[in-house]
Amino acid sequence: MSFRMSVAVESPSALQGGSILEKKQGLCELRDKPKDFTNSEYIDLKNIGEHARTVQPFKTSKHQPLIQGSVSKEAAIATHAALHLHLTPEKEKKIREMYDRLDADNDGNIDIRDLTQALASQTPHIPTAMAPKLLARMKSEDSDRVTIADFTNYVLAHEARLAEVFDQIDSNRDGEVDMSEIKSYCKEMGVNLDDQKAMSIVKKMDQSGSSSVNLNEFQDFMLLYPSTDMREMVDFWRHNLIIDIGEDGQVPEDFTPQELQSGVWWRHLVAGGVAGAMSRTCTAPFDRIKVYLQVNSTKTNKLGVVSCVHLLHAEGGIKSFWRGNGINVIKIAPESAMKFMSYDQIKRWIQEYKGGAELTTIERLFAGSSAGAISQTAIYPMEVMKTRLALRRTGQLDKGMFHFAHKMYMKEGIKCFYKGYIPNLLGIIPYAGIDLTIYETLKSLYTKYYTEHTEPGVLALLACGTCSSTCGQLASYPLALVRTRLQARAISPKNSTQPDTMVGQFKHILQNEGFTGLYRGITPNFMKVIPAVSISYVVYEKVRKQLGATMS
């Protein structure tokens, strides 16, 4: 690789003397230093003609003539080290190795593609979405690439700022940051962490297994995070992905008082709502097939996914696969708002009861499940409507949704809008609990077996989320099936003679269809998980960025 170095020339006498190497901004000055430079590749001003075969004179903003010559990357690093007198040979080597690792295509420069690829493969705890901001911090103003000089400047300056941050966190000045200090500092930033979360942060940074973090470990972990603002760093440690896969049992996202005051919370909720709408719409055919199989497939009337697709297409064409999706999307907004407000209030009550202490995982699960139960109670009539609309035949919605709901009320009374409410409510707890527990367990196992990664990357997190959600659905699916059959009982001739209670439905299914009968329609439910998670994540990230909601 070649490196372009500019050497300022004041006058002919400066070229003849050659005894002063002066940095333009006056950061440091070498005047006749008694050092041995015979083995270094510095530009010798006495013999500058050897380096100026491709000279291209130009002017700076102060109209000073400059001479450019090509030198090797090693010479550039050595010269840069001389300008930073405290840069040791060991530090030079470390910076050069880091630079080479980031230079993914080995073209001698670091661009946005190099950074994005390097963050994904080498530092998965730094989101690839940070690559543009990181590039802007590293490069010079008039370039879109990072040279070795730019990188060295960035490393030295960023490490110095990180050292200041480390000193702020290290309250007892012992040179080590432990769980209690992380927890204490996060609390000062307005973020309350329990012991488990604080220790998780320490373990991600700790390279020696000492359950504490020294300055070098802290700098190594945060070097490529393009900010030393402590508020942003605490948010970076704390936030998790918000992923909507069309299920309603997830624990809501935590927001700090600062985020509530700044309005960041509604941007995240809007981004999550749009992502949920897109995800549910794209996977609506799977959902309708699932509902149809739950209600109509039995031991004597076996239906598979393929046969169900043929039946639905023959009855209503392609559009029929999206029946019930409209109300499924409409209910996202009130459900999310109700869940968020309820969750925040329940957290406040628990914290007041505990004297202000942070919630444990069990308490957070309880608050999330309670908030889910409250929001489900408020929007449950829309759930029943979704099931009825998904099972309707062509022509039954000609006069609109409100007329459809009015007909239900006139025929069955107000109770029809809460059919299957009990199994739906009971299903929230196992789904949310198992989903959260398995998600955290898989993350821990990943970091345990892949020790070179302190934090799972995006793909690993999506895989953990998919597996945990699948396990949660397996546990709660029988309750979901009974709920659907109770919701649809009045409009399904085959089910009209079946019991109209949750316990009665369980007994009927086990007696007539066996244990496997409790999992009718689970195949399309599994088929939609991966596309739903992927679509939701991509749309969420795009909308979040457009709204200006920062998140790690």
Helix (H, G, I), strand (E, B) or coil at 496: coil
430: amino acid identity, one letter: P
Q: Do residues 348 and 257 lie in contact, with contact meaning Cβ atoms separated by under 8 Å?
A: no
User: How buried is residue 16: exposed, middle or buried, by Cβ count under 10 Å (0-12/13-18/19+)?
Assistant: exposed
Does the residue 314 lie in any domain?
yes
Does the residue 344 lie in any domain?
yes
Does the residue 154 lie in any domain?
yes
pLDDT at 442: 82
Same domain, 98 and 208: yes
Mean pLDDT of all residues belonging to the chain: 75
pLDDT at 355: 74
Range of the domain at 143: 84-239
The count of structural domains within the chain is 2
Q: Given the structure tokens 């930033």, which residue do they identify?
A: 189
pLDDT at 252: 52
- 70 forms bridges with which residues in the sheet? 4
pLDDT at 85: 46
User: How buried is residue 207: exposed, middle or buried, by Cβ count under 10 Å (0-12/13-18/19+)?
Assistant: middle
Same domain, 124 and 229: yes
Does the residue 276 lie in any domain?
no
Does the residue 231 lie in any domain?
yes
Same domain, 297 and 169: no
Q: Given the structure tokens 């170095």, which residue do they identify?
A: 5
pLDDT at 256: 55
Left, alpha or beta for 551 (phi > 0: left; psi -120 to 50: alpha)? beta
With a CB cutoff of 8 Å and minimum separation 6, the contacts of 452 are none
Same domain, 419 and 349: yes
Q: Do residues 295 and 314 lie in contact, with contact meaning Cβ atoms separated by under 8 Å?
A: no
Of residues 100 and 537, more confidence is placed in 100
Same domain, 89 and 222: yes
With a CB cutoff of 8 Å and minimum separation 6, the contacts of 365 are 251, 432, 433, 436
The Cα 250–Cα 324 span in angstroms is 22
Does the residue 10 lie in any domain?
no
Does the residue 274 lie in any domain?
no
- Asked which of 206, 239, 272 is the last residue of a domain, the reply is 239
What is the DSSP pairing of strand 65-72 with strand 29-31?
unpaired
The Cα 247–Cα 508 span in angstroms is 26
Same domain, 100 and 221: yes
Of residues 115 and 462, more confidence is placed in 115
Residues 375-388 have a mean pLDDT of: 91
Place 395 in a pLDDT band, splitting at 50, 70 and 90: confident
Is the model's pLDDT at 478 over the cut of 90?
yes
Same domain, 319 and 400: yes
Here the CATH number for the domain that contains residue 121 is 1.10.238.10
Both tokens assigned to 299: 């031991």
Same domain, 396 and 509: yes
Both tokens assigned to 108: 């001698």
Place 265 in a pLDDT band, splitting at 50, 70 and 90: low
pLDDT tens figures, 298-326: 888 888 899 999 999 998 899 989 998 89
Same domain, 387 and 521: yes
pLDDT at 239: 53
Place 467 in a pLDDT band, splitting at 50, 70 and 90: confident
Same domain, 311 and 206: no
Is the model's pLDDT at 149 over the cut of 60?
yes
Here the CATH number for the domain that contains residue 316 is 1.50.40.10
Left, alpha or beta for 256 (phi > 0: left; psi -120 to 50: alpha)? beta
Same domain, 175 and 235: yes
pLDDT at 384: 92
Q: Do residues 75 and 4 lie in contact, with contact meaning Cβ atoms separated by under 8 Å?
A: no
Cβ count within 10 A of residue 320:
18
Same domain, 166 and 314: no
pLDDT at 505: 92
Is the model's pLDDT at 87 over the cut of 90?
no
pLDDT at 15: 37
With a CB cutoff of 8 Å and minimum separation 6, the contacts of 124 are 453, 455, 456, 457, 458, 460
Q: What angle do CA 86, 164, 115 make, to 5 degrees?
A: 75
Both tokens assigned to 178: 């432990």
Place 352 in a pLDDT band, splitting at 50, 70 and 90: confident
Place 64 in a pLDDT band, splitting at 50, 70 and 90: very low
The Cα 99–Cα 153 span in angstroms is 12
Both tokens assigned to 373: 């139960």
Backbone angles phi, psi at 65, to 5 degrees: -65, 135
pLDDT at 463: 80
DSSP conformational letter for 145: S
134-143, 187-196, 284-293, 448-457, range with greatest mean pLDDT: 284-293
pLDDT at 293: 92
The Cα 7–Cα 23 span in angstroms is 9
pLDDT at 254: 56
The Cα 481–Cα 184 span in angstroms is 46
Does the residue 7 lie in any domain?
no
Is the model's pLDDT at 70 over the cut of 60?
no
The length of the chain is 552
